[in-house]
Amino acid sequence: MIIRNKENWFKMLFVWHGSVLPKLLPRLSLLFILSIGVVFFNGKIFSFKIPLNPTPLTLFGFVLALFLGFRNNVSYDRFWEARKLWGALLNYTRSLTRQVLTLPEPRVDRSLARHFIDLLVSFTYALKHQLRDTDPQHDLKERLSEADYSLIISAKFKPVIIMKLMGEWVAGARRTGRIDAIQQMRFDENLDKLAEIVGGCERIISTPIPYSYRVLLHRTVYLYCFLLPFGLVDSLQWLTPFIVVFIAYTFVAFEAIADEIEQPFGTASNDLALNVMCKTIEATLTELNGEEISLNISPKNGIID
C-alpha cells in the first residue's frame, strides 16, 4: 500500500510508484503507434475510409464513463469493507486482551495472559496468510508454543483453529472459577465477532465481481480506444496520437485501478497494508500486557505492506 504525505500539485503529475501507469505503458504505447499509423494513412484501411466522427464517440464515451464509475464504486466498496473488517479486528483484539487482564479473579498470571495474547496475535497473522495464500510457518512458529504450533500448522483454516484454542482458554478459566458465566459470555461475544470478521474476509476473497461483467467492460473499453483515432484524425491530424493516448489513459487506468482494489488483501501497491496492521495489533496487545514494544510500526512516506 502507498502512504504519502500531501505533495505539491506539480509533483503529483510525475508520481510513478503507486500509480497504474507502469502497467499501462505497453498498452498505451501500442495505441500511440496505432494512432500514428491512422494519421499517416488518413484514417484509411486498404483505401477504405473509416466513416467515423467525434459525435458518436463522444456519446459512447459518456456512457462508458458511467459504467466505469459504477465498476470503480463496486471495487472500492469491497476495499472499504475489507478495511472496516480489519479495523474491527483491532478493536476486538484489544477488548479481548483487556478482558483477559482485568476480568479473572484472582488476576491471571502473566504467563497465562501471554499465552492468550500470543493466540490473538497469531490469529491475525494466520488470517493474513490465509487471505494472501502465503506460508504462515515463520510468523506462527515464533509466536506459538510447540504444542499449539503443531496443532495449528496442519489445519486448513488456521484462524478458526486458533479461535477454538482461545475458546478452550476461556472455558478453562470458567472451570477454575476465575471468571463467572456472565464474564464467559462476554468473552464468547468477542470471539463470535472474530468469527464474523473471518467470514466477512472470506466472503470478499471468494466472491469476485462476475466475470462476464468484467469481460464486457474490458472489451468495450479497448474497442472504444482503438476506434478513437479514426474518429479524431480528420479534425486533429497529428495531434490525434497524443489526445487518444490521454483519453485512453483515463479509461484504461480506471479499469486497472478497479481490478487492483477488487481483491484488497493482495500485495499490490494499492491493496491493504496487512503486514503493518498485524504489527500494529501485536504492538498494542503487547503494550496492554505491560511489556515494552519492540516493533517499528510508524507509517512512513512511501510503500508499506
Give the separation between CA 73 and CA 287, rounded to whole angstroms.
38
**DSSP β-ladder status, 302-303 and 2-3:** antiparallel
Quote the pLDDT of residue 52: 80
Give the separation between CA 151 and CA 161, rounded to whole angstroms.
8
Q: What Cα–Cα distance (Å) separates residue 52 from each residue in 35, 44, 228, 263?
A: 14, 11, 9, 38
Residue 281 in contact with residue 288, Cβ under 8 Å? no
Give the separation between CA 133 and CA 153, rounded to whole angstroms.
14
Quote the pLDDT of residue 299: 52
Please, where are the H alpha helices in 6-45?
A: 9-12, 21-40
Quote the pLDDT of residue 4: 59
Cis, peptide link before residue 106, omega less than 30° from 0: yes
Average pLDDT over residues 28-41: 92
Q: Is 247 helix (H, G, I), strand (E, B) or coil?
A: helix
In this predicted structure, the answer to whether residue 298 has a pLDDT above a threshold of 60 is no
* Own/partner pairs, 17-21, CB within 8 angstroms, 24+ separation: 17/269, 17/302, 17/303, 18/269, 18/270, 18/303, 20/253, 20/256, 20/257, 20/260, 21/249, 21/253
In this predicted structure, the answer to whether residue 222 has a pLDDT above a threshold of 60 is yes
Residue 48 pLDDT grade (very low, low, confident, very high; cuts 50, 70, 90):
confident
Quote the pLDDT of residue 276: 92
Bridge partners (DSSP) listed for residue 45: 48
Query: Where are the domains positioned within the chain?
Result: 20-303
* Tens of pLDDT, residues 272-292: 999 999 999 999 999 998 888
* Tens of pLDDT, residues 58-74: 888 888 888 888 889 99
* Tens of pLDDT, residues 76-120: 999 999 999 999 999 999 999 999 999 888 777 778 899 999 999
Residue 1 in contact with residue 261, Cβ under 8 Å? no
- Mean pLDDT check: name the lowest of 136-150, 182-196, 213-227, 291-305: 291-305
Higher pLDDT, 210 or 47: 210
**DSSP β-ladder status, 48-49 and 44-45:** antiparallel
Quote the pLDDT of residue 55: 82
Average pLDDT over residues 34-63: 84
* Tens of pLDDT, residues 168-208: 999 999 998 899 999 999 999 999 999 999 999 999 999 98
Quote the pLDDT of residue 56: 84
